[in-house]
Structure 1
Amino acid sequence: MVHQHRIWGELMEAVVARRPLTYTAPRAPNGKIRVGFMSSDLRAHPVAYFSLPLFEHYDRDKFEVYCYSYYTGQEDPTQKRIAGMVEGFRWNPEINDRDAAQVIANDQLDMLIELGGSTHMNKITVMAYKPAPIQASWLGYPHSAGLKAIDYLIVDPFMLPEREGLLIEKPLVLPHGWFALSAGAFNERVAVQNPAPVARNGYVTFGTANNPYKYSRDMVRTWAKVVAQVPNSQFMFVRPEGGSESFRNNLAAIFAEEGVSADRLRFEAVRGAHLPFYNEMDISLDSFPRPAAPPPARACGWVCLSSPWWARPCSSGSAIPAS
């Protein structure tokens, strides 16, 4: 995985070398450190939920914060909220990579932190132009981006790779935790119901709200083995893809291989309204080796089992198709 990232990084570095940025004279010092955050997920998205505490609480006397988004959808309340917290919010959905990098360079940052790696709409190639003297990756893509222009990958002791060579960037290790989750991530207030579902139903209900691109056949088979070991138990998939017949059939086929019949599977085809369904699960199971972040974090108060993979940079497994 690291090797593939680096192959891509070398290609991008060759491209940007042909079109270098222009830099203006240094800005007049004002005693503040100017930091930029680049992400197309500063909206109703997990990256925004995890970064909100930073935007809410940074020291305005010591720092100036600028944000850069290339999100192609409609502005939402979360984006408006973040834009109101920072000195500058540059939203350019149609801009090309080189011009996007020049916009950042013109703001004369001291440090630029990108929050999405190679994820959708993030424009990670912008980092190859080196629009800021110090650059780092954090939060949205816990893996090496493959670019030498990125100086640091922000991690915590649990995410730090176990062996050298898994990162191109220098690890910048936070002492306690990689992120914080603010109350803003819990706009939907859902009380924990008692008694537990097993007491109401007479059987144990396992479940997940994780995105199917994090599924692999081996992982689903592991879930199926868990269900098979608990007599009469059921498994609930809370995903909009549950409305797809092929999605349901693909999962049912894997569970059947482990002796779990289709009538023990439940599909709730909801989008963005999954929290109430945790009250119908006794145990929520996380995916692996590509774990979730928001579903387990927002499931505080319910039982959610994750895996040691959450503590390591990793890649997604092959997805079970939804259609």
Structure 2
Amino acid sequence: MNPDQLFHSAVNAHRNGRLPEAETLYRQLLSLKPSHADALHLLGVLCHQTRRHQEATSFIERALALIPNNADFHNNLGLALQACGQLDQAVSHFNQGLAISPRDTDLLANLASAYHVAGQLPEAIASYRKILHLNPRDQDAIAALPHALQALGIQQQQRGAYAAAEKTYAEAVTLQPQDAALHYNLGNAQRELGKAAEAAASYHRSIELSPHDADSHNNLGNVLRELGQLEQAMVCYQRALALDPLLYHAKVHLVHQKQHACDWQNIEEDIAQIREWVATAPQVQISPFAFLAMPGTTAAEQQQCAENWTRQRYAKLMQEPALLGPTAARKVDTGTQLRIGYLSADFRLHPLASLITEMLELHDRDKVEVYAYSYAVDDHTPARQRIEQAVDHFIDIRPLSIHEAAQQIHADHIDILVDLTGYTQGSRTGILALRPAPIQVSWLGFPGTMGAPFIDYILSDAFITPAAQASYYTEQLALLPTTYQPNDRQRPIANTPSRNTCGLPEDAFVFCCFNQSFKIVPQVFASWMRILQATPQSILWLLECNASARKNLQQAAQEQGIDPARLIFAPRVPMDQHLARHALADLFLDTAPYNAHTTASDALWMGLPLITCSGDTFASRVAGSLLQVAGLHELITFDPAHYETLAISIAQDQALLNRYRERLQATRDSKLFDTARFTQALEALYLRLQKAPAHQLT
């Protein structure tokens, strides 16, 4: 049989699936004609089909040596190389084939697949798009492109590039509108960008397509909560738990929202279960912020919760090489400015602004250069604009990925990076996990330990974090000489309204508490009701946080023998009006174990005495710190009985109340609200931290 007949017979057997016969014939032909390029190529293809990929590459490479410009040879060699795990070489040959035959959709599809496997998703997506440009009806490309886009979106989201992820998912959704997972992931990216309404619409669509997905119900609950739709959010968490009883974080969300709603049914049992998870199930995702507010939790448990959360969320980032490597902290000599970077999700109209803005303005520019790294949505308010003007460099890192943001901070040679957000809403703690600065500090945003080895210090004071509590903080304690909380004395205050305007009786003693409703726990409310019982001419003035809380608190009052009409709810108003109405109250009753923080400063700034009950955790000692600096030590209590007795005695003794008001007024412009003095102390503390022995970067 001559070579042409052998080749024809081999190809015929190959096409008809008689592979052993075809291989025998190819080898016979090559023994007669070793330079038969087509036989070498097809024998290589046959070896690839029978999973002898390394042998396949050898035959096809010999064919290519004979005919270098054959696109099919490059294509099939690429497939064999990919099967051997040699992705870079495979991509090279697919591209060489396309240089010869640029409209070959098989080559493009194989190139896209190789890129996808190699994790080069933008290149894979570009290849799929080229296929669809050449053939808009190519079903394989139509199916593959959304999957590649989804993989890219997930990759972008893991890097914290949420704007890019949103764009990627949105394109995927247009191509595959019936894919529930795409809508779910789009919602996740939108939520990270603060687009709660858009995220809710994406989660709703995901649930329409996949109604039994517990995660979609949970995440819809998260954005409905952010939109103020508390009842609907709790329904979502309940549905999520009905679908997956082991979705622990949905249970944590539900309990925290029940606290916002002051729905205390089974609350003690629920919290006991969550505390058990913290102790025994470190893999369970329990929000450290939600855990802070749960009554009964100890400082040790809060530390464990934060450490669990840090390991779950940031273990991979912590394993990446530190951006600084072995570089030591910058040497700062006399006359050299310290570069302080403030990192926050709350550079906007937010309680944080009422604490830090004047302090930022008063920083001594001979000593410090101030950078603000913002990932807050620009709300275009005067509060945002004032912060932008208060710093030397205002950098909006919201469009950046976590790595890009960390690289920006590192490139700016920041000496001390101060995280003002912590584990609160919108947190991008991953930036700090990458170690962009030699010294990293937690301050103001999160009232507790972050349980993170990449946070070196927590700024506090000796009252909030006494030395005996130091072991409950993974950070070193960096103590300010007075209180840890600064204040902005430049905030506008409206004219004082009348009691009648605010719905308050003219002749009543007005107890008030303007804390958020989640801080009102059953034990505190019971104390309040006993105080009202003992002072019949009094009312309790509360901030109206949500309709559910109002209804549940009124019902709880009635159950404890107090007329619900004695609870009066203050609607939310602009901050200048809110500050002004403090003058109508007589005594502020604080909450525990989560105190008034900024709210306490508001009250004391407006001359309103406050009674607190301090505990053992950071969040439970902030109001006590403020009172101590204000010279009102007597208003700090340490048990509910003393708290109640003190409140009743003040309500029954107008002269005593007047003395407290006078003392508060006398100290108002001294230590507590001396922002210039506070800023000087803060700068001195920063300098001490910078000169301390270098930290072992991890």
With normalisation by structure 1, the TM-score equals 0.85
The answer to whether the aligner puts 1:264 opposite 2:566 as a matched pair is: yes
Structure 1: runs of 5+ lacking an equivalent: 316-323
In structure 1, what is the Cα distance between the partners aligned to 2:368 and 2:463? 28
The answer to whether the aligner puts 1:254 opposite 2:561 as a matched pair is: no
Judged with a 3 Å threshold, the aligned counterparts in structure 2 of structure 1 residues 179 and 311 are, in CA distance, closer, same or farther, namely farther
In structure 2, what is the Cα distance between the partners aligned to 1:240 and 1:308? 22
In structure 2, what is the Cα distance between the partners aligned to 1:252 and 1:73? 37
CA shift for structure 1 position 268? 2.4
Which residue of 2 is the match for residue 168 of structure 1? 474
Which residue of 2 is the match for residue 76 of structure 1? 381
Aligned AA (1:116):
T
Which sits farther off after the overlay, 144-153 or 227-236? 227-236
Query: Do the aligned partners of 2:587 and 2:611 also contact (CA within 8 Å) in 1?
Result: no
Equivalence map 1:208-219=2 (5 Å): 208-219=513-524
In structure 2, what is the Cα distance between the partners aligned to 1:310 and 1:97? 36
SS of 1:171's partner is strand
Query: Do the aligned partners of 1:150 and 1:169 also contact (CA within 8 Å) in 2?
Result: yes
In structure 2, what is the Cα distance between the partners aligned to 1:33 and 1:276? 38
In structure 2, what is the Cα distance between the partners aligned to 1:175 and 1:227? 37
Query: Do the aligned partners of 2:359 and 2:487 also contact (CA within 8 Å) in 1?
Result: no
- By percentage of residues, which structure has more strand? 1
* Number of equivalences: 309
Which sits farther off after the overlay, 18-27 or 281-290? 18-27
Which residue of 1 is the match for residue 309 of structure 2? 8
Which residue of 1 is the match for residue 529 of structure 2? 224
What do residues 116-165 of structure 1 show as CA deviations (whole Å, max 9, x unaligned)?
A: 21111231222111110011111222211111111101111111144342
Query: Do the aligned partners of 2:455 and 2:475 also contact (CA within 8 Å) in 1?
Result: yes
SS of 2:614's partner is helix
Which residue of 1 is the match for residue 584 of structure 2? 280
The answer to whether the aligner puts 1:182 opposite 2:475 as a matched pair is: no
Equivalence map 1:25-44=2 (5 Å): 31-44=336-349
CA shift for structure 1 position 72? 2.4
Judged with a 3 Å threshold, the aligned counterparts in structure 2 of structure 1 residues 227 and 95 are, in CA distance, closer, same or farther, namely farther
In structure 2, what is the Cα distance between the partners aligned to 1:310 and 1:55? 31
SS of 1:222's partner is helix
Query: Do the aligned partners of 2:586 and 2:608 also contact (CA within 8 Å) in 1?
Result: yes
The answer to whether the aligner puts 1:236 opposite 2:509 as a matched pair is: no
In structure 2, what is the Cα distance between the partners aligned to 1:20 and 1:76? 39
Query: Do the aligned partners of 1:37 and 1:67 also contact (CA within 8 Å) in 2?
Result: yes
Aligned AA (1:123):
R
The answer to whether the aligner puts 1:86 opposite 2:391 as a matched pair is: yes
Which residue of 2 is the match for residue 319 of structure 1? none
Which sits farther off after the overlay, 66-75 or 294-303? 294-303
In structure 2, what is the Cα distance between the partners aligned to 1:80 and 1:201? 39
Aligned AA (2:596):
A
In structure 2, what is the Cα distance between the partners aligned to 1:225 and 1:77? 43
Identity of aligned residues (%): 27
Query: Do the aligned partners of 1:227 and 1:260 also contact (CA within 8 Å) in 2?
Result: yes
Query: Do the aligned partners of 1:70 and 1:91 also contact (CA within 8 Å) in 2?
Result: yes
SS of 1:153's partner is strand
In structure 1, what is the Cα distance between the partners aligned to 2:487 and 2:424? 21
SS of 1:122's partner is coil
CA shift for structure 1 position 201? 2.7
Query: Do the aligned partners of 2:532 and 2:562 also contact (CA within 8 Å) in 1?
Result: yes
Query: Do the aligned partners of 2:414 and 2:437 also contact (CA within 8 Å) in 1?
Result: yes
User: Cα RMSD (Å) of the superposition?
Assistant: 3.0
In structure 1, what is the Cα distance between the partners aligned to 2:383 and 2:550? 33
Judged with a 3 Å threshold, the aligned counterparts in structure 2 of structure 1 residues 164 and 275 are, in CA distance, closer, same or farther, namely closer
Judged with a 3 Å threshold, the aligned counterparts in structure 2 of structure 1 residues 44 and 119 are, in CA distance, closer, same or farther, namely same
Query: Do the aligned partners of 1:238 and 1:274 also contact (CA within 8 Å) in 2?
Result: no
Query: Do the aligned partners of 1:287 and 1:306 also contact (CA within 8 Å) in 2?
Result: no
CA shift for structure 1 position 191? 4.8
Equivalence map 1:188-199=2 (5 Å): 188-191=493-496
The answer to whether the aligner puts 1:58 opposite 2:363 as a matched pair is: yes
In structure 1, what is the Cα distance between the partners aligned to 2:554 and 2:497? 29
Aligned AA (2:511):
F
Query: Do the aligned partners of 2:348 and 2:378 also contact (CA within 8 Å) in 1?
Result: no
Judged with a 3 Å threshold, the aligned counterparts in structure 2 of structure 1 residues 89 and 10 are, in CA distance, closer, same or farther, namely same
Aligned AA (1:253):
Q
The answer to whether the aligner puts 1:130 opposite 2:435 as a matched pair is: yes
SS of 2:339's partner is strand
Aligned AA (2:383):
T
What do residues 22-47 of structure 1 show as CA deviations (whole Å, max 9, x unaligned)?
A: 45999998822111011122222222
In structure 1, what is the Cα distance between the partners aligned to 2:553 and 2:459? 36
SS of 1:234's partner is strand
Query: Do the aligned partners of 1:67 and 1:89 also contact (CA within 8 Å) in 2?
Result: yes
In structure 2, what is the Cα distance between the partners aligned to 1:126 and 1:61? 28
Judged with a 3 Å threshold, the aligned counterparts in structure 2 of structure 1 residues 224 and 95 are, in CA distance, closer, same or farther, namely farther
Aligned AA (2:595):
P
Query: Do the aligned partners of 1:70 and 1:92 also contact (CA within 8 Å) in 2?
Result: yes
In structure 1, what is the Cα distance between the partners aligned to 2:608 and 2:511? 10
The answer to whether the aligner puts 1:112 opposite 2:417 as a matched pair is: yes
Judged with a 3 Å threshold, the aligned counterparts in structure 2 of structure 1 residues 80 and 301 are, in CA distance, closer, same or farther, namely closer
SS of 1:56's partner is helix
In structure 2, what is the Cα distance between the partners aligned to 1:107 and 1:217? 49
Judged with a 3 Å threshold, the aligned counterparts in structure 2 of structure 1 residues 137 and 104 are, in CA distance, closer, same or farther, namely same
The answer to whether the aligner puts 1:156 opposite 2:458 as a matched pair is: no
Aligned AA (2:590):
D
The answer to whether the aligner puts 1:102 opposite 2:407 as a matched pair is: yes
Query: Do the aligned partners of 1:291 and 1:306 also contact (CA within 8 Å) in 2?
Result: no
In structure 2, what is the Cα distance between the partners aligned to 1:314 and 1:232? 32
Which sits farther off after the overlay, 262-271 or 14-23? 14-23
Query: Do the aligned partners of 2:449 and 2:458 also contact (CA within 8 Å) in 1?
Result: yes
With normalisation by structure 2, the TM-score equals 0.41
CA shift for structure 1 position 169? 0.3
Q: Which has the higher contact order (CA 8 A, sep 6+)?
A: 1
CA shift for structure 1 position 18? 4.9
- By percentage of residues, which structure has more helix? 2
Aligned AA (2:537):
N
Judged with a 3 Å threshold, the aligned counterparts in structure 2 of structure 1 residues 62 and 163 are, in CA distance, closer, same or farther, namely closer
SS of 2:593's partner is coil
Structure 2: runs of 5+ lacking an equivalent: 1-301, 621-698
CA shift for structure 1 position 20? 4.0
CA shift for structure 1 position 21? 5.6
